[in-house]
Each structure stands twice: as structure tokens, then as C-alpha cells.
Amino acid sequence: MFHHLRQSFLMLLFLTVITGVLYPLAVTGAAKTLFPRKAEGSLEVRDGVVVGSTLIGQAFDDPRYFWGRPSATTPPCNGAASSGSNLGPTNPALKEAVEKRIAALRASDPENPDPIPIDLVTASASGLDPHITPAGALWQVRRIARDRHLAEDVMRKLVDDHVEGRDLGILGEPRVNVLRLNLALDATR
């Protein structure tokens, strides 16, 4: 019996070293070598200060900035609480939340008669999506241009310049990273 316990313990120790130490070190080393920016969290740095990550949505609520998708986490855009709302399309709580978001968007720009893009009123599956659709960004142009005293065509060009295409030309949809767009907006004079 001692022989079996010894073999079991040695196998546990061996697999712990392989899967708990060597494999994670190898994967981390490969990631840092091949994709150093992504392995470090895709952090955006301005003037030596980290201002956010392009992988996790930020909670922008100032009317002078582009707003991202609503977050399903509490507090908003909390990476440690990543999860969707799990509310189905017929759930009254989802309908109520969407109606409140629509009302808030309409109140922020009452002169905008255009339909509000769906991504501005619904959270993504993770609740942390850093992107919105180009339509979602363009819908906000009038409000931001007014608040910043900029021409709407300048704002539209800024959005167009920040549209990211489909991955590999076929995967996903065109999108705009809200953090990068807002950083470029701050650089616009």
C-alpha cells in the first residue's frame, strides 16, 4: 500500500510541476515574446500615465465624450465582475432597462431625431465591451460637437478614421474602440 501512495504522490507532484508551473511559464513567455502589448493588457499610456485598456470598456458619462455600451457589471466596467445580464429578450427587466437608456440618450441630445443604435442601449455578453458600432459613434456626433464647439464634419471624420475593420477581413463587424476615439477627441483642437 505504501508503494501505491508513494507513486500517487510522485505523480501528483510531477503533474503539479508540469501543469502548474512549467506550462504557465511557457505560455506566458510565448505571449510576452510574440504579443508583448496584448500580454501586458493593451494599456493606453498618455504622458506616462495609464489611462485605460483597449480591451475593457470604460465608463464614460461626460457628454463631451463618446459613450460606450452599457455595462452589465456593478460598478460599471468592473473587470473582476465580468458577466452578462442573462436577461432574455422577453424579460420585462431588460425592456425596462432599455427604455431607461433610450430616455437618457434622448435627454442627452433631444434634437437628434435619428433612431438610437441597439449597441448604445444593450450590454454585451461580457458587460465589458470596449467597442461600439460606427453607427453608435456617429449617433453621438451631434451632442459632442455641440458641447465641444467643433464642426460635425470634423467629428464624423474622426469617427471614420477610428473604424476598425473585420478581423482577417471576414470575422466580426466593423467597430470603434471608444477609449481610442476619446483619446483622439481630446487631441483634437
Going from N- to C-terminal start, the domains of the chain cover 1-40, 42-187
For the chain, what is the mean pLDDT? Answer: 89
* Share of residues in the chain with pLDDT > 90 (%): 60
Rg (CA), the chain: 22
pLDDT of residue 179: 94
Is residue 70 within 8 A of residue 122, CB to CB? The reply is: yes
pLDDT of residue 84: 66
Helices (H) and strands (E) in the chain, counts: 7, 5
Bond into 75 cis (ω within 30): yes
Beta strand 175-177 pairing with 131-132: antiparallel
- The helix (H) or strand (E) run that includes residue 51 is strand 49-53
Provide the β-strand partners of residue 138: none
pLDDT of residue 74: 67
- Could you tell me what percentage of the chain is helix, strand and coil, using 3-state DSSP and rounding each to the nearest 5? 50, 10, 40
Closest to 176 measured CA to CA, from 125, 122, 119? 119
pLDDT of residue 47: 86
115-162 pLDDT per residue, tens: 999 999 988 777 788 999 999 999 999 999 999 999 999 999 999 999
Task: Kindly report the pTM of this predicted structure.
Answer: 0.80
CA distances from 32 to 19, 39, 55, 60, 79 (A): 19, 6, 17, 30, 21
Joined grid coordinates for residue 128: 465589458
Residue 72 has pLDDT above 80, yes or no: no
pLDDT of residue 128: 81
Banded model confidence at residue 83, pLDDT cuts 50, 70, 90: low
